[in-house]
Structure 1
Amino acid sequence: MSNIPDLFRPEDFKLSEPPPPVLYKYMVADRVADVLDGGMVRFTHLLDTNDSFEVRKTFRRFAGPKFIELMKGAALAAITPAYIDQHIQQKLDEAGLNIPVAHVREMLKEQSGMSIEEFMRSQMGGFINMFASGLDSIKSPEEFLTEMGSILLCFSLSERYDIPAMWAHYGGNHTGLVVAFDTNHPWFKDDKSPAESKLQKIKYLDGQNDELFDDLQAAFSSKATDWAYEREWRVNCAMKQIEKTVDLGADTINLRSFPPGAVTTVIVGAKASDETVNRVRYVLKRKYPHAKLQRTTPQRMTGTFVLEDI
């Protein structure tokens, strides 16, 4: 079953392409103290993001033709001749029978008219079809997705630092800043497989897929096309990985620390105040001496941004 992801650990899914070398986090100027100086970022439950339809029905059913084929392929790949011989020998040993495995295979073939492998293949299809037909009755897609949205938390970044709408919505209308993160830093890597990234690319689509396995990434890491301008990537986690929780009454903030070495650059907006620039510069000197400080300036006539070191 190695080619079927673990549906009970969606935070560990590895369904997207490798991330770009750098990803960016937009924030308002007030976050300098919390994020840069405090060294912690917020992870938000999917049910609590600013997208009203973050958790939505992205697929109509769990099991369809693709799921059944994946199950059959995984099962048949696991049931090798060596695997079967091992289990026949184990049963013979338990029964205290000194009979060659080859003789047992021959007897079974005479009885059924086919090899053990052929017999198991003939039975496997019916069993998997029966199993698949009952999946949606155990838990509906709506229940599953809502439950996942309540337990899964995410930290969101963007592919680009120069998206005007992002500066307007998340960067304090150019008075805030963008923190650039090195996606090759171990903080973004899988603990068990250091060569693999934990970052997941968000897909943008409207509507639904027929079944879960039509597109697993769309099922678990997607938003409506209205949000495509964000060019979002995420790190997911479960509550057990949260290091600090701040209770604000109407809201709860869940925080995880990040290593200073993961930050490569801090980019202040074109309208950032001198106070903000000086606060960022002071924090960088103390905690991120390797990181650059830059300012971005929009060029109205070309629709581009210019970066300069400051």
Structure 2
Amino acid sequence: MPDKKPTIPDMFKPEDFTLSEPPPPVLYKYMVADRVKDVLDGGMVRFTHLLDTNDSFEVRKTFRQFAGPRFMEIMKSAALAKMTPDYIEQQIQKKLAEAGLNIPSTLVRELLQQKHGMSIEEFMRSQMGSLIEMFSGGLNLAKSPEEFLTEIGSILLCFSLSERYDIPAMWAHYGGNHTGFVVAFDTDHAWFESDKNPAESKLQKIKYLDDQNDELFDDLQAAFSSKATDWAYEREWRINCAMKQVEKTINLGANKIHLRSFPPETVTSVIVGAKASNETVERIRDVLKRKYRHARLQRTIPQRMTGTFVLKDI
């Protein structure tokens, strides 16, 4: 089976990039106990600007230049695919019509053959390399990777989830030291579907690396959906969005909280931490009875001799 040809994403809609394999069937969001009212009862989750996440180096220089050999290869391949005999014939006819010339295209081809010693197809291909190289140089001069990535970081927001519910460091850092809870989301739900293609997911897998790539198209996932390897334990996936997709903003002065609603059907279960209080458990149980009757309520039980958790329905 032939390799899938690389495609160039729409730079103006980075929230729609497709940069990774399909997500696992369930992803998890760790939360502190205070979020029961806001998230479960309120039915909204927070989307955070990339520049405002808890990673000081969330937005960093992941590639040295926009356009290099890889970019030129992609552009050349795209141009060659476009340059079919029918397309070239259409362009000749178009130019003749614009010039008001009523002559056969075969005559034009013969004249070009005499002038350049090659067919029009060969001539266009011979000029392609220099044109793409000139365009690539202009692209690198137009904006630096630092400027571009900072701009993306200021306009793009994300909602982060994890592949696993049983990561001790995640419970410690995001789950109130096991007193909070985890919401399990069904990634097959339409809420996660791409707006452009329902067969694809909006979820993007985070790649973990510390090095820079030479150019943007060496690894698009590394360029736009990556973090340093120190964060690899999070096993993170994300939905990205633009401000126009935010439904509610809470203004806290210097800080702003941007919220979007999610359908109750996306939630498959709520998992409370091993140290969650009876009050937290009962608050969650009440919300599930009212708004998420299909969802299970479970608790993590640490298995200290094996360093694992098991889930118990409660």
Same fold (TM over 0.5): yes
Please report how far the alpha carbon of residue 9 of structure 1 lies from its aligned counterpart in structure 2 after TM superposition.
1.5
Once residues 213 and 100 of structure 2 are traced to their aligned partners in structure 1, the CA distance between those partners, rounded to angstroms, is 53
Unaligned segments of structure 2, at least 5 residues: none
Aligned-partner SS, 1:282: helix
Amino acid at match of 1:204: Y
TM-score of the superposed pair, with normalisation by structure 2: 0.96
Pick which of 98-107 and 234-243 moved more.
98-107
Quote how far apart the aligned CAs of 1:105 are. 2.1
User: For the residues of structure 2 that align with 1:8 and 1:191, how far apart are their CA atoms?
Assistant: 15
Supply the RMSD in Å over aligned alpha carbons.
Answer: 1.3
**What's the counterpart of residue 277 of structure 1?**
281
Identity of matched residues, %: 80
Partner residue, 1:114: 118
**Counterparts in 2 of 1:9 and 1:203: CA distance versus 1, 3 Å:** same
Residues in 2 aligned to 1:298 and 1:8: alpha-carbon distance in whole angstroms: 46
Please say if 1:187 is aligned against 2:191.
yes
Letter in 2 for 1:261: E
Counterpart AA for 1:214: D
In the alignment, which of 284, 296, 304 is matched to residue 300 of structure 2? 296
Paired residues for 1:92-103 under 5 Å: 92-103=96-107
CA distance in 1, matches of 2:296, 2:107: 73
Runs of at least 5 residues in structure 1 that lack an aligned partner in the other structure: none
Tell me, yes or no, if the aligned pair for 2:6 and 2:74 is still in contact at 8 Å: no
Q: Output the CA distance in 2 between the equivalents of 1:33 and 1:12.
A: 30
- Confirm whether residue 209 of structure 1 aligns to residue 194 of structure 2: no
Q: SS state of the match for residue 134, structure 1? A: helix
Equivalences for residues 140-289 of structure 1 within 5 A:
140-289=144-293
Task: Output the amino acid matched with 1:33.
Answer: K
Bigger shift: 73-82 or 195-204?
A: 73-82
Whether the aligned pair in 2 keeps the contact of 1:2 and 1:74 (CA below 8 Å) is no
Deviation at 1:5, TM superposition (A): 1.4
Structure-1 separation of matches of 2:105 and 2:181: 70
Of 153-162 and 83-92, deviating more is 83-92
The question of 1:60 aligning with 2:64 is answered yes
Match for residue 35 of structure 2 among 31, 37, 60: 31
CA deviations on 1:85-115 (whole Å, 9 max, x unpaired) are 1121223334444433333223322221111
Partner of 1:41: 45
1:139 to 1:96, Cα distance in 2 relative to 1, 3 A: closer
- Name the CA distance, whole Å, in 1 between partners of 2:206 and 2:33: 26
